Amino acid sequence: MGEPPWVSVVAALQVQVLGPLAVLQNGEAARLPQSKKTRGLLAYLAITGRAHRRDRLCSLLWDVADDPRGALRWSLSKIRPLVDSGTKRCLRADRETVQLDLDDGSLDWRSVRRELASGVALIPSGRLLELASVFRGELLEGLDLLDFDEFTAWCAAEREHARKLQGQILQTLVERLEETPTEALPHARELVRIDPLNEEARARLIRLLALAGRRNEAQAQYESAARMLKELGAGPGGPLLAAWREVNSAAAMTREDAAPVSLSTPAPKESPVLKHRSEGLLVGRQDERARLVSLLDDAAHGSLKIFLLKGESGVGKTRLLTELSDQARRRGCTVFEATAYEAEAGRPYGPWIDALRRLPEEVIANADRPALAPLLPELGESDADSHSRDRLFGAVVDVIAARATEEEPVLLIFDDLHWCDDATAELLHYVARMSLARPVLIVLGARDGELIDNESAMRVLRSFRRDGLIDEHLLLPLTEQEVAVLVQEMDSAADPAEVFALSGGNALLARELAQAALRKGESVPRSLKELVGDRLARLAPEAGDVLRWSAVLGPTFDVSRLTELVSLELDPLMTALTELERHALLESSSTATGTYAFHHALVHRVVYSEISEPRRKLMHLRIARLLEDRNDPDGTIALELAHHASVGGDAAMAARACVVAGNRCLRVFANAEAYTHARRGLRLVEELPDPERLKLRIELEQVSLGAHWPKDAETEARRIEALAEHALDAGCAEHARLGFTLVSYLRWYEGAVGEAHRASLRAEFASRGADDEDRVIGIAEAGRCLVILERDLAQAEALLLEARALTERSGRSAWAVFDGIGLLRLHAGALEEAKGAFEQAWALARKDGNRLQEFMALEHLVTVCIHRREEDEACDYARELAIIGEKLREGSERPLGRAMLALCRYRKDDVDYRRALDDALQALREVDAKQRLAFALTQAATIESERGELESAAARAREAADLGQVLQQPSETALARAVLLRIARERGDLPAMREQASELMKLRGYANHVRAVVERELAASGLSLGSDPSELGVQ
Amino acid sequence: MMARVIVERAFDQPASFADIQAREDQFAWCLEQHRVKFIRSYFSKDRRRMICEYEAPDAETVREVQRTASMPFERIWTAEAFEWE
């Protein structure tokens, strides 16, 4: 049967559910919506592949109280951009039904089901390997919606189905690859991971590990399974126990190139031969190797040497001992080699039995066989005389003594001494005592932190220490350089720095990390999880609980947090921490009091990942709530709170904490961190309902702007303005106001958003106690007021935007809004827009019959037309202005109307109007209307300077400049000085030019249309803004 | 170079100084922005006439503020004070 052609067409749209949900568009991962329900909906539609009624989907994922149909629409709006392209609409929704059509796309789960439909046996191995790699984890990993029973039940069924099919693929692969254990191992491990109670799978894994020379791991697997089965009320049954016995028996056999084993008994019927004793690679440890070899040399001088090699699990003790053993054998030494096992702590003399059994036949040949028979039944029966402990001990000593020569000293290696039984310890002590004057080297390996738990071993060691017989050495983790060598030697693609960081230099962890093919999305190789998990299983329950809370707190944590979380009194907590330190799982900080850290980042990661997700969430949430209850005026714990609340699933709390943390960072000028908090918070708020979402979004935008000025300020301004409008719709007036303030700062300030903090809400004062209409007018007048004074224009814009939004909603226009916006646009130099706004203001004032407002609107229209040099139109408006001015009895309106009309006609070259202008100007002086006077004077000076009437022009401009200064209005001052500069230039008066140019350079905050005039005059004088006026005229 | 500006007010009905003050307080921000500083007021015994004295850049500024605050006034003018030595 020929093999089907395997793929290679990659669909434009790929949906992946075998692992965490992912959507790829043209091979690139798309950003999924934050909302879990939206992702759940997407997954449900993709996997079911058929049309569903809307009400069905609503009941699947939403509560009745949450406006499910609205929420469904919203979710669909988030899904559509992910799955639809310009030409193809995959998401089909009408009023009744919704369907996701992936016929032209791909869904990994669907592909796997189709291929396995006719059974796994017919699929070639190559394809099976590809299918196995499609599984990136559990189906829809991490997507749990436990509050929704129907969805949860559906998801559980799909997961079970996926697990079953994955199991079939893996089982078939393991069977087919049995002859090559290293290739089969990853699949065997994965099979055990997805089906931990499958004894057959576990047994197969143990055998494969043993074949691959990983006995320790095999043991760990056995013990883990035995524990699990015990918890379920069963013991290790047939397949598991049989596999373990096989492995144990095989371990008693020597290597393939050593002398054939003759003492194995009774030989198991199926016994895989142990082919390798070590992993082969030994990095670093030159000092230790040299020391051990020198000890062997010293022992050859005829006296006992005892050496204890201590260190944490996986640091490399066994590898060193193996290296020593190999060296000793090459020298022709007799090596007694054994390891104690935790599982066999109840097996008396276990290590001695193993060691004796490993010896060549000729070594035992001349021994006292009846005396040894209690240990080695295969040597025959023991008689009544020989059946005594003393004879047994004596026989063992004799065996050793017979082989110990100066040329070839005897080497006794006992590894994992912390697990040895009483009997072994006693015999060891006896042998040492009887070998003091013999060329014997005893090397012991033990986990430092666990020795203390073995009283028998401790008793022996104390005796050795007392008698000065023992040297001890603590084996430290590998250095970063050594880890890099290890990674390189293994030809691994892993990043050496990351391997070192994660493993902390622990050789076993580093090796496993370098070796493991890390799956996408998996941060810890499964084999390592088992290794670390095994260590954790040895802990007392209290210590385990403390360790889990510590993991949730983080890789480093304050112990005071722990005291609030674990239900332990202080003493038991300290005991638990001590135990964890002893087991090299935690260490206390030498620099920060009360701070602990995980000894290895990897251990932290494993402990954390072993906590089920729902439980993790609850733990994070508990921590978040504890932190939230604390008084935090400076926001120092906000960062921590944001993390825990976010992982704990409380998006609102997390987002609020992001605001606090972000503001705190801004206060200390940590802008990058502030920006990160803001962006994180903005992602979180999307899960929240309005109005909370809107309020928090605006607060987070404020932090974001404070930290990072956007490239396109106008686009951001429009976006935030829309947000502010929504906030207003939702009744969040204060946040709407803040939003408008942010908009205004985007338009008016280049990065000085810090100003927004101090800006008082002036409109609030203006509208206190007022009804809605008065309130809007109050806000608008406040904005208009600021524009007229050319002060705080950003705040002015914010107020006017708010007022405009309010009036649009109420349907009632306010004159102050139009006029104020017109003035704002005029200041910005947007003369066309300004004119439009003033015309609206004029129309409204006429409609309302408000002459004063009509006058002001017309005044501004004349101003705009003058600046645009629209002389005819200016005259028309000025005529209207003058008519209304005559009707306003009090104030400066009448003289201003006359002055404006006179100016417009004066500009059109009607010199008769100069007298009328002078009279009007005088009247303006008498009513003390400085700003209007200054404007009229400057315009008159401009006209006269253009006509060469420099004397008159200069006098008028000087007066205008002085008035502008009194009023502190930069625009009036700048215009007047620009005219004075021109006059000075016309006169050729360099000092006067320098003086005026210098004064102009000092001015700030004037309107943009005035800026154009200033720049023009400076350019005509050979200068520009920013140049040095003192250089004017210098050749 | 601030001006002394006089505001004349007249009321059809007797007015309460507290009410006038409250209204002006509501627009205190506006006065502050325009640099208009209240000096004193003279209130007639029948409570129908009032003269308020301010210090301000000019009379037009006070007019602008009074209009914004919708405060009633008859006349506003800049004064020069003469005092006996």
| A766/B63 CB distance under 8 A | no
Q: A286: which residues sit within 8 A by CB, 6+ positions away?
A: none
Domain hosting residue B30, numbered range:
3-79
**Helix or strand (DSSP H, E) at A262:** none
Closest Cα in chain A to B59: A928
| A852/B78 CB distance under 8 A | no
Stretch A179-196: mean pLDDT, rounded? 86
Closest by Cβ to B29, choosing from A766, A890, A892: A766
Total domain count, chain B: 1
Contact A225, A199 (CB under 8 A): yes
Q: List CB contacts (< 8 A) between A967 and chain B.
A: 57-58, 61
| B29/A786 CB distance under 8 A | no
Q: What's the confidence (pLDDT) of residue A172? A: 93
B72 touches chain A (CB under 8 A): no
Stretch A868-881: mean pLDDT, rounded? 92
Q: How far is CA A816 from CA A697, B68, B70, in A?
A: 30, 10, 13
Q: What's the confidence (pLDDT) of residue A263? A: 30
Closest C-alpha among A916, A773, A756 to residue A848:
A773
Q: A633: which residues sit within 8 A by CB, 6+ positions away?
A: none
Region of A554 on the Ramachandran plot (φ > 0 left; ψ -120 to 50 alpha; else beta): left
Quickly count: other Cβ atoms within 10 Å of residue A847's Cβ: 11
Q: What's the confidence (pLDDT) of residue A526? A: 61
* pLDDT tens sequence across A979-1030: 999 999 999 998 999 999 999 988 888 898 899 899 999 988 888 777 777 7
Q: Is the pLDDT of residue A251 over 70?
A: no
Closest by Cβ to B34, choosing from A781, A789, A928: A789
Stretch A536-557: mean pLDDT, rounded? 87
Q: List CB contacts (< 8 A) between B30 and chain A.
A: 766, 781-782, 785
Q: What's the confidence (pLDDT) of residue A608? A: 87
Q: List CB contacts (< 8 A) between B60 and chain A.
A: 891-892, 927-932
Q: List CB contacts (< 8 A) between A791 and chain B.
A: 33
| A765/B26 CB distance under 8 A | yes
Closest Cα in chain B to A893: B60
Percentage of the residues of chain A whose pLDDT score is greater than 70: 87
ipTM of the complex: 0.87
Stretch A154-169: mean pLDDT, rounded? 92
B68 touches chain A (CB under 8 A): yes
Amino acid A824 reads L
| A890/B76 CB distance under 8 A | yes
Q: What's the confidence (pLDDT) of residue A913? A: 81
* pLDDT tens sequence across A21-54: 999 988 888 888 888 899 999 999 999 999 999 9
Closest by Cβ to B33, choosing from A785, A852, A966: A785
Closest Cα in chain B to A770: B26
Q: List CB contacts (< 8 A) between A966 and chain B.
A: 1, 57-58
| A785/B68 CB distance under 8 A | yes
Which CATH number characterizes residue B55's domain?
A: 3.30.70.3090
Q: What's the confidence (pLDDT) of residue A277? A: 39
Query: What are the structure tokens assigned to A319, written together?
Result: 């590898």
| B27/A932 CB distance under 8 A | no
Confidence of residue A933 (pLDDT cuts 50, 70, 90): very high
Closest Cα in chain A to B77: A927
Residue B44 in any domain: the answer is yes
Q: Is the pLDDT of residue A517 over 90?
A: no
Q: Maximum distance among all alpha carbons in chain B?
A: 39
B32 touches chain A (CB under 8 A): no
Q: What's the confidence (pLDDT) of residue A371? A: 85
Residue B84 in any domain: the answer is no
Stretch A763-789: mean pLDDT, rounded? 70
Confidence of residue A630 (pLDDT cuts 50, 70, 90): confident
Q: What's the confidence (pLDDT) of residue A749? A: 63
Beta bridge partners of B9: B50
B77 touches chain A (CB under 8 A): yes
d(CA A52, CA A46): 11
Question: Rounded to the nearest 5°, which phi and psi values hold at A557?
Answer: -155, 160
d(CA A874, CA A467): 114
Question: Which residue, among A795, A928, A933, A969, would best test binding to B if mutated, counting the most B CBs under 10 Å from its CB?
Answer: A928
Looking at mean pLDDT, say which of A321-330, A627-636, A729-738 comes out highest: A321-330
Q: What's the confidence (pLDDT) of residue A574? A: 87
* pLDDT tens sequence across A830-862: 999 999 999 999 999 998 888 899 999 999 999
d(CA A226, CA A690): 53
Q: Is the pLDDT of residue A385 over 70?
A: no
Residue B26 in any domain: the answer is yes
Residue B31 in any domain: the answer is yes
Query: Is residue A274 helix, strand or coil?
Result: coil
Q: What's the confidence (pLDDT) of residue A960? A: 96
Work out the minimum CA distance from A54 to partner chain B, whole angstroms.
55
Residue B12 in any domain: the answer is yes
Work out the minimum CA distance from A857 to partner chain B, whole angstroms.
14
B18 touches chain A (CB under 8 A): no
Q: List CB contacts (< 8 A) between B64 and chain A.
A: 788
Question: Which residue, among B8, B9, B29, B66, would best test binding to A if mutated, counting the most A CBs under 10 Å from its CB?
Answer: B29
d(CA A1019, CA A501): 63
| A890/B78 CB distance under 8 A | no
| B30/A785 CB distance under 8 A | yes
Q: List CB contacts (< 8 A) between B78 and chain A.
A: 928
Tell which wins on pLDDT, A297 or A747: A297
Closest by Cβ to B59, choosing from A766, A852, A929: A929
Q: How far is CA A308 from CA A43, A296, A305, A474, in A?
A: 58, 14, 10, 8
d(CA A295, CA A1020): 96
* Lowest-confidence region among A215-219, A625-629, A680-684: A215-219
Q: What is the DSSP track for A606-673?
A: HHHHHS-HHHHHHHHHHHHHHHHTS--TT-TTHHHHHHHHHHTT-HHHHHHHHHHHHHHHHHTT-HHH
Q: List CB contacts (< 8 A) between A931 and chain B.
A: 58, 60-61
Residue B59 in any domain: the answer is yes
Residue B63 in any domain: the answer is yes
Q: What's the confidence (pLDDT) of residue A598? A: 85
Question: Which residue, among B24, B25, B31, B33, would best test binding to A if mutated, counting the most A CBs under 10 Å from its CB?
Answer: B33
Tell which wins on pLDDT, A1008 or A228: A1008
A:B CB pairs within 8 Å: 66
**Considering chain B, what is the average pLDDT of its residues?**
87
Confidence of residue A262 (pLDDT cuts 50, 70, 90): very low
d(CA A184, CA A128): 13
The number of angstroms, rounded, from the C-alpha of A345 to the middle of its chain's C-alpha atoms is 45
Q: What's the confidence (pLDDT) of residue A520? A: 40
Contact A259, A335 (CB under 8 A): no
Query: Is residue A791 helix, strand or coil?
Result: coil
Stretch A698-718: mean pLDDT, rounded? 87
Closest by Cβ to B3, choosing from A781, A852, A928: A928
* pLDDT tens sequence across A306-331: 999 998 888 889 889 988 998 898 88
| A927/B64 CB distance under 8 A | no
d(CA A951, CA A928): 24
Amino acid A237 reads G
pTM equals 0.46
Stretch A167-187: mean pLDDT, rounded? 89
**Considering chain A, what is the average pLDDT of its residues?**
83
Q: Is the pLDDT of residue A977 over 90?
A: yes
Q: Is the pLDDT of residue A194 over 70?
A: yes
* pLDDT tens sequence across A263-304: 333 333 222 222 233 345 788 888 899 999 899 888 888 889
Residue B85 in any domain: the answer is no
Q: What's the confidence (pLDDT) of residue A248? A: 66
d(CA A78, CA A74): 7
Work out the minimum CA distance from A916 to partner chain B, whole angstroms.
21
Q: What's the confidence (pLDDT) of residue A762? A: 41
Residues of A with CB under 8 A from a CB of B: 760, 762, 765-766, 768-769, 781-782, 785-786, 788-789, 791, 852, 890-892, 927-932, 966-968
Closest by Cβ to A928, choosing from B59, B67, B74: B59
Closest Cα in chain B to A783: B30
Work out the minimum CA distance from B10 to partner chain A, whole angstroms.
14
Closest by Cβ to A930, choosing from B27, B57, B77: B57
B9 touches chain A (CB under 8 A): no
B60 touches chain A (CB under 8 A): yes
d(CA A1030, CA A995): 9
Confidence of residue A384 (pLDDT cuts 50, 70, 90): low
